[in-house]
Structure 1
Amino acid sequence: MLPAHTARSSFHRNAASIAALTAGLIAVPASAQTAAEPAPQVAAAAPEEAEPSEIVVTAQKRSERLQDVPISISAVSAATLERQSVTQVAQISQTVPAIRIDFSGNTVQPTIRGVGSAIAGPGTNSNIPTYIDGYYIPNPVATDLNLINIASLNVLKGPQGTLFGRNATGGAIQVTTRAPQHDTTILARVGYQSFDHLTSGFYGSTGLTDTLAVDLAASYERGDGFKRNIVTGEKDVGKFEKWSIRTKALWEPTDGVSFTLAYAHSDSDDPTPNMVNARNGMSAGALIPGTIVASGRRDVSNTRPNFDKLKTDSVTLTSVFDLGFAELTSYTGYRKERDYQGFDYDASPAEVQAAIWTIPEKTFTQEVNLTSKPGGRFSWVVGAFYLYNESAYHYNVAAGGADYFRLFDSENKTNSYALFADGTYEVVDDLFVTVGGRYSIDKPEVAFNLYSANVADSGGDKFTNFSPRAVVRYEITPRSSVYASYTKGYKSGILPASSFSTTAVDPEKIDAFELGYKTASGPLRFNLAGFYYKYKDVQVASFFGQGVSVIRNAASSEIYGIDGELSYDITRDFNVFANVAWTHADYDKFPNAIGYQQDLNPASPTFSTFQPVNIDASGFQVLRSPRFAFNVGANYGFDLAGGRMALNANYYRTSKFYFDAVEQFDQKAYGLLNLRATWTDPSDRFDISVFGTNVTDTKYITQTLPDTVAIRQAYGEPATVGASVTFRY
């Protein structure tokens, strides 16, 4: 039973109409930039053979040592991802505890330092964007980490809008893949683990001529999943299959000029994000006598199909020109996606609500950067950015056992323009001052047709913003520095089609202050940052089922905390590490947050089981923002049988947090332990690994989705064990 809140909400006019509409539908997871690769606009870790203290990043769009960059960055190499068994987006938290990765269906909802997206649906974007090889990915669906050619994954904490594009209010996730090499390289891997889960990958690179090199990465994955349907008896209801390819061609026609053309395709048939059940059995179906409603970790009880089929294609061209005094880089990208999903909203065998929808999306981006050459007291970058995004939504629903019918169609279009500049000047020896800013214009448009209510409308809006940043950094020693920064964060206003209104939701804004210390000397690497945020006009959604929601600016919050990273080489063979994040994130003002009160009368005029109620969440903990999270671990290597054995352990723990703003649906504190052992043969050509993830078999929830017909949830994967073999040439 949900808590009884007596004060029922007084919604906006569009919220009331949507509730009435809904009622009528209810029957009852390190490689540095090389000379051959254009400088990406992402942080990239240094090569494995480099000194541990010499990680090079391009977080300010110019190559710098990590300890010299006055931004809080977690730079994770490909080797670290493998050692810690991070192969999915949801596992990033286990190696970077300052970020939480949760889901709303298949929509990724990351949270960094208490800043995260509380919305999902047509016309919405995350405020923590993902970049692949420097290209912005506006659709917040899962990013594939299984490609064997991933070089590094990096998390930038705090607002990054000045240099890293639109909607980076809370930070950014950066994925960098390998560049083609002229030397022939082959890497192949196959693995098998619990739940009949097979993984395989291939990467090859070679030179075709003195000026042309190409590569190819491919992956294939399939498994039964860990879900079972307690109504139909299916034990592999979560069966999935995914494959992807990525290829690049690097052409260097002359010194100082290079072009990298890349194509990527992915095809995923994976129902896992939509395999939900009812939290504590809270479903409209539970009111029907004799109905079995699943709520256990491995159980589902839907009879309508839950599925998610996603196809993506992308083409990018990165062009670099050495102009002598500076380097000119152009990023041209086109991306096409088609997402086809099915969802049983009541999470029960009762025929209450279900939906099937299709989301075709197209994105074109063009960015140009002019970056100063290294040397001298002044370094700078200026640039321009353009984005065109077109996303449609074709939504079909079923209620009371009837066939699916079209509820609504919508189309969102966005044109976004930006100019930015950033420069660092060494005022006196070892004292650096950085000033930067970005001026942006966003023009969203929306058109929708709500067939059941015979309502069609269209409209547009325009948002302009200037986001500055200022930083002072002092280099204490050649390998350590302190810094203080102020950054203005901004997320554009939106026209969410699921609200069936042409009135825009205003932008989010954040004022961020940070103090940091970084050092990398000998066996020690240590980073520490303290931060304070004032976060205003937070965009939040209230869900009414059937994919219908009201999105509004409803909250402001005060956030402060400390996070740090420590790595120490006790010996050449023994390394220990720890990453810690403490975040105090509370809503400063949130008088009209939405909770859900259970209505036990299925014959009520609204035909709704869980009634939205208005709750004052001021002072409540920000959703998906644990007070404390950390990971600790160790890497130990020794000679064995003429080869090399590597043992790795990683333990992640988070404190209690809430999936909602009114603290109705919590996740208790939990910990996850991953273990891996890898033996490399004497020729360094073969690796054999055995591993276990979540070896203590901890139960934890990855999403909670409340609305009027059910309080849905999904669990993380149980304990798994597996093995893999890697070949390299």
Structure 2
Amino acid sequence: MSLTLAILLAGQTAAAATAPAAAQDDAAPAPVTAGGSEDARPAASAPGGGDILVTARRRAESVQRVPIAMSVVGGADIDKTGAFNVNRLQQQQPSLQFFSSNPRNSAINIRGLGAPFGLTNDGIEQGVGFYVDGVYIGRIGASTFDFVDVDRVEVLRGPQGTLYGKNTTAGALNVTTRPPSFTPEGRAEVSVGNYNFVQAKASVSGPLSDTVALRLSSSATTRKGTIRDVTSGEDLHRQRNLGVRGQLLWNASPSLNFTLSGDFNVQNPECCVQYYARVGTTQRPLARQYNALAAALNYTPPSRDPFDRRTDLDAAINSRQEVGGASLVANWDLGPATLTSVSAWRYWDWQPQNDRDFTGLPITTVSQNPSQQKQVSQEFRFASNGTNRLDYTVGAFLFHQTIDTQGSQVQGSAASRFLLSGTDANNPNVLNGLTSTNTISFDNTSFAVFGKLNWALTDALHIQPGLRVNYDRKSGFYESVVSIANSQYNFTATADNVATLLAAQPTTAARTTFQNQINTLAPQRYSPRFSAWNTSGDITVSYDFAPEIHGYATYARSFKSGGINLSGLPLNSTSTGVDLTTQTVKPEKVNNYEIGLKTQFLDRRLTLNLAGFWTDVSDYQATVNNNAINVIRGYLANAGKVRSRGVEFDSSFRPSKRLSVYVSGAFTDAKYVDFKNAPCPPELSGGTATAPGGVTDPAGTPGGRSPAFCDISGQRLPGISKWSFSYGGEYNLPVDGAGGEVYVGYDGNYRSRFSSNPSPSAYTWIEGYSLSNVRAGYRKNDFNVFGWVRNAFDQNYFELLSTQSGNTGLIVGQPGDPRTYGLTVSKRF
């Protein structure tokens, strides 16, 4: 359906690679983006404006005629609004959600669906596919990088498995970079701003011969941090990003071409930190809640106002990662159809450092999982060239991924007080130096064949069925070795010897202490396996009511592959082993219903696109923690059913050559329909356990009784606002009589309150907020200079809130960026 209007009015960037621009008609000007740069003017195929060409259905076609709910953001729009990564992009996309406590723990959701809320588990699939130039990216961490020389970003909503290589149940982000050009060209852009912000982008392209063209692109961003660490004097949440990309195009013949691409990206910020946001009351005894514990240890946070942006970490912090790879794309036009091959190899290297309790107290001083991923993929597609009433796309996809992770967690001298009860809570040595060293490996193979037809029964009526047959095989290994060495305790526990060590404790008190230690960090070893075939499909009926009014209805049955747990399993009843029944999670089963209408009026000056959707997900893959209050990382389990339904719209209006405005919005009602054994929110946790589901004391009763688990059926899914909007526009005036113009633009967005905890909690709702970005500048031909202010009203808001291990009532948060401002100068030549 919908086309994000910040760029519905922006098409040449999206279309220039595939269609020549026609002359503009002064009487009926083509729409322009809110930024209005020449780079963003659409190729005009009608008096009022031009089509934006997209490849959502694996062929170039007008976005207004594609019967898919989708939005498009062009490269010019990305540049002028500062949406240089997915986190910024979500401000322009009401149905898109992006969450990142650090690059590894990142998730892209669409309509509230995609990945479970919480820390990343290596063994789970993403529900939203992330593609760059047709290559599926297996780790969402790569999406935190800056976009490099991007032509457009397509955001497809709903299941896409019959068109795309990897099965995706919630949608796809399809990033297309600018291709090599046989006409010499170059681009350069420099931005400077407060917090010592400097961003530079450059690209050059041109022919090496009559048949070979090259494109080289780069982007670099640096910025001082926005959070002050009063312990080290460092500014945290800085930006240090560098990306380079090269593409070589060879037109081997008029019907055959090859594109060889390679990229390297490195990101080295001092992040990611959360800090004191608020304190709530839990079911723990009052003396074991945060305020009492902090007082007992003579600790005061550097500020109880989270928007003072101060923290006091007592351990190193960093989030360094590298992403790179190479791909070869071949297109062979056989006349009636085109054969496409996409071969790719990629890697991802993650090297973090963390102070995991996010306080100046030595509770959990380390909890980090350095990881190395490698992937290879091969996709073949055979697509008709649209010359008959029956068009088709058929394909095959093979994907192989390996991940090696070296995890570690270390408890400090304050851990006993925060995590334990009884006598051991007053003995720092019980947990001081307790260390878990984890070895994790993952092997993932996926194979699929897929296809989609487009049958034109009449010139106006089309039926488009699709089918996918998919096979997934996953295997993994997880081992945690637990050790401690201090003045009082010294042992190494493995899955093989933990029972022997427990039996060897000389007294009941010693046995209790050892039990407390291995319950905090459990030695375990297991090797999960999963494999399954599944078949999915969809059918779309579309009808052209008029040349500029197109309607469609879609039903899709899709599957998200089952997963394996690779973050540790809950203990079994003996507390010296693990519950092996939780090694795997079942596939999600998705039924998606959608209707949409795409319209243009007033000679294409006014666009209004609408979509309504209803998605049911059975066996929803969720993160749970078995109500263990001292566990940082939960494990995966299946909730009975969730549902997401809503309405989306995009609209734009250009009443004159001087003014353009846009509004996009989404109402999304996403909730758990059936989740009776969910983890409890913090206000119901930490007390004496009772019979399953039997809450016998009000929430937040110190020393009260807690249920073993909670029924959260009917409650909201995390991370999704019921209401979200993006809106803005631009006004320009001609100057100097030679094509120059001055302009002023505004881009805003709003999202209503949303839950930041897998089980909705009174303490972790993030209240609704709105952000405003403004810009003003001068442009002429290929030159553009403008000043900008982002978050112009310095709105204080959280990107996420979370609880900490121990369930003491402490809630920590990650704030959004404060007001920033600067100047951008760009030139094309």
2:616 pairs with 527, 534, 556, which one? Answer: 534
Relative to the length of structure 1, the TM-score reads: 0.89
Q: What is the CA-CA distance between 1:221 and the residue it aligns to?
A: 1.3
- 2:505 maps to what in 1? none
Q: Which moved more, 1:576-585 or 1:58-67?
A: 58-67
SS of the residue corresponding to residue 585 of structure 2 reads coil
Cα shift at 1:364 = 0.5
Match of 2:480 among 450, 453, 475: 450
Choose the corresponding residue for 2:813, options 713, 716, 727. Answer: 713
- Alignment: residue pair count: 686
Identity of aligned residues (%): 24
Q: Equivalent residue for 1:286? A: 294
Match of 1:81, SS state, is helix
What pairs up with 1:677-688 in 2 under 5 angstroms?
677-681=776-780, 684-688=781-785
Query: Secondary structure of 1:328's match?
Result: strand
Counterpart of 1:566 in structure 2 is: 651
Secondary structure of 1:117 counterpart: coil
Question: Which residue of 2 is the match for residue 593 of structure 1?
Answer: 678
The equivalent residue for 2:140 is 140
Task: Mark the CA change 1:482 to 1:57 in structure 2 (over 3 Å): closer, same or farther.
Answer: same
Deviations 1:528-581 (A, max 9, x none): 001111111111113566753211002412222110100111102211100010
Find the partner of 1:463 among 532, 540, 565: 532
Three-state SS of the structure 2 residue aligned to 1:82 is helix
In the TM superposition, residue 126 of structure 1 has moved relative to its aligned partner by 2.1
Q: Does the 8 Å CA contact 2:165/2:379 hold for their aligned counterparts? A: no
Provide Cα deviations, 1:148-201, integer angstroms capped at 9, x if missing partner: 510111211111122123341111111110000011111111111121111111
Matches within 5 A, 1:566-715: 566-597=651-682, 614-641=709-736, 642=738, 643-664=740-761, 665-681=764-780, 684-709=781-806, 711-715=811-815
Residue segments in structure 2 that go unaligned for 5+ positions in a row: 1-12, 21-32, 34-38, 281-288, 414-431, 483-492, 496-524, 570-579, 690-702
Would you say 1:331 and 2:342 are equivalent positions?
yes
* Counterparts in 2 of 1:459 and 1:617: CA distance versus 1, 3 Å: closer
Partner of 1:380: 392
Deviation at 1:686, TM superposition (A): 2.5
CA distance in 2, matches of 1:399, 1:499: 17
Measured against aligned partners, the alpha-carbon deviations of 1:179-235 in whole angstroms (never above 9, x if no partner) come to 000111111111111211111111111110000000111111112110101344x15
Are 1:689 and 1:723, in contact at CA under 8 Å, matched by a contact in 2?
yes
Residue of 408, 412, 428 corresponding to 1:396: 408
Quick one: which of 522, 544, 551 aligns to 2:636?
A: 551
CA shift for structure 1 position 63 = 2.1
Indicate which of 31, 36, 44 corresponds to 2:14.
31
Contact kept in structure 2, 1:513 and 1:532, CA below 8 Å: yes
In 2, the alpha carbon distance for the partners of 1:164 and 1:609 equals 51
Which has the higher mean CA deviation after the structures are superposed, 545-554 or 478-487? 545-554
Q: CA deviation at 1:444?
A: 0.4
CA distance in 1, matches of 2:705, 2:242: 39
Q: State whether residues 345 and 545 of structure 1, in contact with CA within 8 Å, keep that contact through their aligned partners in structure 2.
A: no
Tell me by how many angstroms 1:360 deviates: 0.4
Matching residue's letter, 1:497: L
Q: Which residue of 2 aligns with 1:435?
A: 465
Partner in structure 2 of residue 7 of structure 1: none
Q: Give the letter for the 1:137 counterpart.
A: I
Alignment check: 8 A CA contact 2:201 2:219 kept: yes
* 1:178 equivalent in structure 2: 178
**Cα distance, 1:105 vs structure 2:** 2.8
TM-superposed CA distance for 1:237, in Å, is 3.0
Name the stretch that deviates more: 128-137 or 545-554.
545-554
Give the letter for the 2:98 counterpart. I
Who wins on radius of gyration, i.e. which is larger? 2
Q: Residues 147, 529 of structure 1: CA spacing in aligned structure 2 closer, same or farther, 3 A cutoff?
A: closer
Q: Which moved more, 1:138-147 or 1:346-355?
A: 138-147
Work out whether residues 722 and 752 of structure 2, in 8 Å CA contact, stay in contact via their aligned partners in 1.
yes
Query: Is this contact kept in 2: 1:564–1:579, CA < 8 A?
Result: yes
Alignment match, 2:593 = 513
Q: Distance in 2 between matches of 1:727 and 1:110?
A: 33
Q: Does 1:322 align with 2:322?
A: no
Q: Which amino acid aligns with 1:719?
A: R
Distance 1:616 1:599, change over 3 A: closer
Distance 1:476 1:714, change over 3 A: same
Q: Distance in 1 between matches of 2:704 and 2:678?
A: 19
How far is 1:596 from its partner? 4.0
| Alignment CA distance shift 1:632-1:416 (3 Å) | same
Distance in 2 of aligned mates of 1:110 and 1:504:
22
Alignment partners' CA distance in 2, 1:148 and 1:139: 18
Aligned to 2:420: none
Partner of 2:162, secondary structure, is: helix
**Contact 1:264/1:313 (8 A) holds in 2:** yes
Shift of 1:239: 3.3
Residue 23 of structure 1 corresponds to which residue in structure 2?
A: none
Q: Deviations over 1:438-489 (max 9, x none)?
A: 1100000011211125233324221211111001101111222111110122
Contact 1:166–1:492 (Cα < 8 Å) also in 2: no
Could you say if the C-alpha distance between residues 610 and 138 of structure 1 is closer, same or farther in structure 2, counting changes exceeding 3 Å?
farther
Q: Which has the larger share of strand?
A: 1
Q: CA deviation at 1:611?
A: 8.8
- Alpha-carbon distance between aligned partners in 2 of 1:583 and 1:654, rounded to the nearest angstrom: 11
State the distance in 2 between where 1:36 and 1:73 align: 21
